[in-house]
Amino acid sequence: MTDDGRRSAADLTQDALSPATGTGRHAVTEEERRLLDFAEVSSDWFYELDRDLKFSLLSSGSSARTGEDPSALLGKTPIKDGIQVGDEAWAAHLADLDAHRPVVDFRFARMDADGRLRHFSINAKPLFDGNGDFAGYRGTGREITQIVNAEKFLRDIIDAVPAVIMVKDAESRYVMMNDYYAQTILGTTPAIGTGMVSGAFLGDKAAAIGRAQDQAVLASGVTSQPFQRMMPIADGTSRAFLVKKVPLNDGSGPPSRVLTVGMDITPLKDAEKAIIDAQARLRESEKRFRDFAESSSHWLWELDRELRYTFVSDGVRAMTGLPPEDYIGMRLFDTHAGQGMDPAAKRQFLEVLDKREPFLDVPVIQTAADGRIRHLRISGRPFFDDTGYFLGHRGSTRDVTPQYDAEADSAKWRQARDIAAAADHAKTRFLAHMSHELRTPLNAILGFSEIMSEELFGPLGAKNYLDYARDIGASGRHLLGIINDLLDMSRIELGQFQQSPENVALVELVDESVRMARGYAQGLGAEIEAARVDEAWVVHVDRRSIRQVLLNLLSNAAKFTPAGHRIWVRVEGDREGDLTVTVADTGSGIPAERLATIFEPFQQGTAEQARGRRGAGLGLWLSRSLVELHGGRLEVDSREGEGTTAIVTLPASRIVARP
Domain boundaries of the chain, sorted by first residue: 9-145, 161-264, 267-294, 296-379, 406-493, 501-657
Q: Residue 191 above 50 pLDDT?
A: yes
- Least confident span in 43-57, 90-104, 312-326: 312-326
Instruction: Could you please state the CATH topology (level 3) that the domain comprising 406-493 is classified under.
Output: Helix Hairpins (1.10.287)
pLDDT number for residue 32: 61
> Hey, what amino acid is at 576?
E
Confidence of residue 7 (pLDDT cuts 50, 70, 90): very low
Percentage above 70 pLDDT, the chain: 78
Considering the domain 161-264, what is its CATH architecture? 2-Layer Sandwich (3.30)
Average pLDDT over residues 280-293: 73
Confidence of residue 21 (pLDDT cuts 50, 70, 90): very low
Helix H or strand E encompassing 573: strand 566-573
The burial of 243, by beta-carbon neighbours within 10 Å (0-12 exposed, 13-18 middle, 19 or more buried), is given as buried
Average pLDDT over residues 275-303: 76
pLDDT number for residue 432: 57
Mean pLDDT across the chain, nearest whole number? 80
Instruction: Could you please state the CATH topology (level 3) that the domain comprising 296-379 is classified under.
Output: Beta-Lactamase (3.30.450)
Which pTM value belongs to this model?
Answer: 0.37
Q: Helix, strand or coil for residue 44?
A: strand
Average pLDDT over residues 294-316: 82
Any residues with CB less than 8 A from the CB of 103 and at least 6 apart, and which?
Answer: 93, 96, 97, 122, 123, 124, 125, 137, 139
Average pLDDT over residues 373-402: 88
pLDDT number for residue 93: 92
pLDDT number for residue 298: 73
Any residues with CB less than 8 A from the CB of 152 and at least 6 apart, and which?
Answer: none
Which residues does residue 504 pair with via DSSP β-bridges, in sequence order?
539
Helix H or strand E encompassing 179: helix 179-180
Q: Where are the beta strands (DSSP E) in 133-267?
A: 134-143, 164-169, 174-177, 227-232, 238-248, 257-264
Distance in angstroms (rounded) separating the CA atoms of residues 352 and 349: 5
Distance in angstroms (rounded) separating the CA atoms of residues 559 and 563: 10
CB 143 within 8 A of CB 65: yes
Average pLDDT over residues 457-461: 78
> Hey, what amino acid is at 225?
Q
Give me the numbers of helices (H) and strands (E) for the chain, helices first please: 21, 23
Any residues with CB less than 8 A from the CB of 477 and at least 6 apart, and which?
Answer: 446
Average pLDDT over residues 198-211: 87
Count Cβ atoms below 10 Å from residue 90 Cβ, excluding itself.
16
- Least confident span in 7-21, 271-285, 490-504: 7-21
Average pLDDT over residues 613-641: 82
CB 572 within 8 A of CB 580: yes
Q: Residue 269 above 60 pLDDT?
A: yes
H-type alpha helices, 455-502:
463-493
pLDDT number for residue 517: 83
pLDDT digits (tens, 9 = 90+) for 554-585: 888 888 888 888 898 999 988 888 999 999 99
List phi, psi (to 5°) of 236. Answer: 95, -5
Instruction: Return the exposure string of 577-599: e unless at least 16 CB atoms fall within 10 Å of the residue's CB, then b.
Output: ebbbbbbbbbbbbbeeeebeebb
pLDDT number for residue 24: 38
Q: Residue 236 above 70 pLDDT?
A: yes
In this predicted model, which residue has the larger pLDDT, 380 or 293?
A: 380
Distance in angstroms (rounded) separating the CA atoms of residues 576 and 559: 33
pLDDT number for residue 215: 92
CB 560 within 8 A of CB 605: yes
Q: Residue 3 above 50 pLDDT?
A: no
Superfamily the domain 501-657 falls into: Histidine kinase-like ATPase, C-terminal domain (3.30.565.10)
Average pLDDT over residues 215-222: 91
Q: Residue 374 above 70 pLDDT?
A: yes
Q: Where are the beta strands (DSSP E) in 373-522?
A: 373-384, 390-399, 501-505
CB 585 within 8 A of CB 567: yes
List phi, psi (to 5°) of 576. Answer: -85, 0
Percentage above 90 pLDDT, the chain: 24
N-terminal to C-terminal alpha carbon distance within the chain: 82
pLDDT digits (tens, 9 = 90+) for 121-169: 999 999 999 899 999 999 988 888 888 888 788 888 888 888 999 999 9
Strands 566-573, 527-530: pairing kind: parallel
Q: Where are the beta strands (DSSP E) in 324-474?
A: 359-367, 373-384, 390-399
Any residues with CB less than 8 A from the CB of 194 and at least 6 apart, and which?
Answer: 174, 175, 176, 177
Q: Residue 103 above 90 pLDDT?
A: yes
pLDDT number for residue 602: 64
Helix H or strand E encompassing 11: helix 9-17
Distance in angstroms (rounded) separating the CA atoms of residues 477 and 456: 20
Q: Helix, strand or coil for residue 299?
A: strand
Q: What dihedral do alpha carbons 66, 72, 74, 75 form, nearest 10°?
A: -130
Quote the crossing angle between the two packed helices 619-629 and 543-559, to the nearest 10°. Answer: 150
Confidence of residue 11 (pLDDT cuts 50, 70, 90): very low
Confidence of residue 318 (pLDDT cuts 50, 70, 90): confident
Any residues with CB less than 8 A from the CB of 391 and at least 6 apart, and which?
Answer: 304, 305, 382, 383, 384, 385
CATH of domain 9-145: 3.30.450.20
pLDDT digits (tens, 9 = 90+) for 404-414: 777 686 666 67
Helix H or strand E encompassing 33: helix 30-41
Question: Is the CA virtual torsion 341, 347, 352, 355 positive or negative?
Answer: positive
Query: Are both 161-264 and 406-493 of the same fold?
Result: no
Any residues with CB less than 8 A from the CB of 439 and at least 6 apart, and which?
Answer: 480, 483, 484, 487
